[in-house]
Amino acid sequence: MLFRPPGSCKPPGDDCLVLVVDSLRKGADLQPHTMTLFKPTALPLLATLAAFPLLAACGPDDAAVAQGEGAATELVCGARQAAPGEPMVYFAPFDEAERQTLCALDLAREELVVAQYNIRRDSYLNKLVELKARGVAVRVAVDQANAAQDWNTGDDFLEQNGIEVVRTKPPGARSIMHLKVAVVDGALALTGSFNWNSTAALTNDENMVVLRDPAVVQAYRQQVLEVLGALAPAVQGGQLTPEMGLHFSPEERLDEVLVQAIAAAEQTVDVAMFTFTSEPVADALVAALDRGVRVRAVIERKQTDMTKVDERLDKAGALVVRGANKIAAHSAMHHKYAVIDGRRAVTGASNWTDAGTRRNDEDLLLVDLPRVAAAYAGSFADLLHVYAEIDDPEAAPAERAGVLLHVIHDGTKPGDRVVATGDHPALGDWDPRRGLELQTAQDEFPNWTGRFKLEAGRRIEYKYVTLTAAGAVVWEPGANRVLEAHASGRALVVSAPFGDTSKSWTPASAP
């Protein structure tokens, strides 16, 4: 069984060693790490390594960081909490969407079927290999064209570890397999906008749903088996439970489903969409505005150049926010959801484009559950706050604000860790050994991010600290950084360079 080091661009061979960094020693001062070298094939089951920071001795660009001592927080596994009629929903970058996904996958005992546009992040690749080693039947479908890219080697790694991989696409010259679905033991399904790559895990705006409704899970399983080529194509969608409708393209026209849903709106439609070019869906929103429905949309700025839909909605009276997620080179406001009348959530992998609603392998999930709709409404209010500094007066206040800390730090070396520490338990109460562990990746460096929850209205002070592989503790000089959550509990993204805060940061208390 091969182990793929974090950030590695190809599976390791016999000449590639993995460094397992032992936990920090106890004591008043940070002590040097001890290093143990293993041949990859001699590693025990990967589950036993989850507590250790990992890095690869395969090049200086690999800066991926795992949880260190004191940084890992106890995770309440949403996959265990989900029940029929009670899905769990997570919103990156403010929730632990990656950890929740891995927790759900870890529940597999017999079968895991996956249809993911691409799988590039090592945490997922290693988890799939681990499950295969445990005797789980793992089958994976990825998009054919994406898998053919030189930089996309995750599918090759899975095959080298004995996992069945199908590189596929639906009919049509430019169609893609764009699903982000996993089904665990035929009893649990994951879907949403969340790709299994580092950008989604660390910086993107994403959503992920965990479902245990038998009819819905079975439909997802059937669809994934179709994509894998194990079943003949058939229409799996429809109103599967009183509260959930599910539809798949290209078997169905998802734009028609969306038009019908928008036509039924009576008061409000809020849309968060990575790419929105569909004229039929835009027509439906304009018609909704004409009959007095309030329409708001947050659209990724980099995608608006390819369409005039945002301009049409602006002109018709909608509030349009062009959200620019600039945390890293490839980060994006990547959601694909809507909230209708505050009681219906519409989500899935589908962008609102002609290809995304007609030709690609996509899903569209409609959920009529107040708790789920409220969660998506809260996420939309967070987007308005982050991208337009709008505090939505109609949004229910949150008890705790999701905070994404983003520091630009290019002075680290392989084995170094970056933490945020300050006067809050999530930041280790000024103990860097228990601070909030920030992460980066080969595609994200020098951007490091970490997330935590801050009580609404609370003001804290903090700093960034580098914990070097040699054991040094390097604090930022200058005044403490200051962060205060809004009384509404809306989300915050705080970006800054690492270094002398007197040059890069003005404390909120300063005149």
**Active-site residue set:** 178, 180, 185
Strand 492-497 vs strand 400-408: parallel, antiparallel, or unpaired?
Answer: parallel
Q: Strands 238-241, 244-249: parallel, antiparallel or unpaired by DSSP?
A: antiparallel
User: What tokens does 267 get?
Assistant: 């008061």
Of the candidates 149, 106, 146, which has an alpha carbon nearest to the alpha carbon of residue 361?
Answer: 146
In 392-498, the DSSP E strands lie at 400-408, 417-422, 436-437, 447-455, 459-467, 473-475, 481-484, 492-497
Q: Which two tokens stand for residue 237?
A: 């969608």
Closest residue by Cα to residue 53 from 452, 448, 437, 445: 437
In the numeric block, the tokens 């969340």 are attached to: 194
Of the chain, the end-to-end C-alpha distance in Å amounts to 59
Beta strands 111-116 and 180-184, pairing class? antiparallel
Contacts with 157 (C-beta within 8 Å, 6 or more apart), sequence order? 2, 4, 10, 11, 125, 129
C-alpha span between 169 and 174 (Å, rounded): 9
What is residue 39's three-state secondary structure?
A: coil
SS3 category, 133: helix
Describe the crossing of helices 279-290 and 309-316 by its angle, rounded to 10 degrees: 10
Beta-carbon count within 10 A of 133 CB: 15
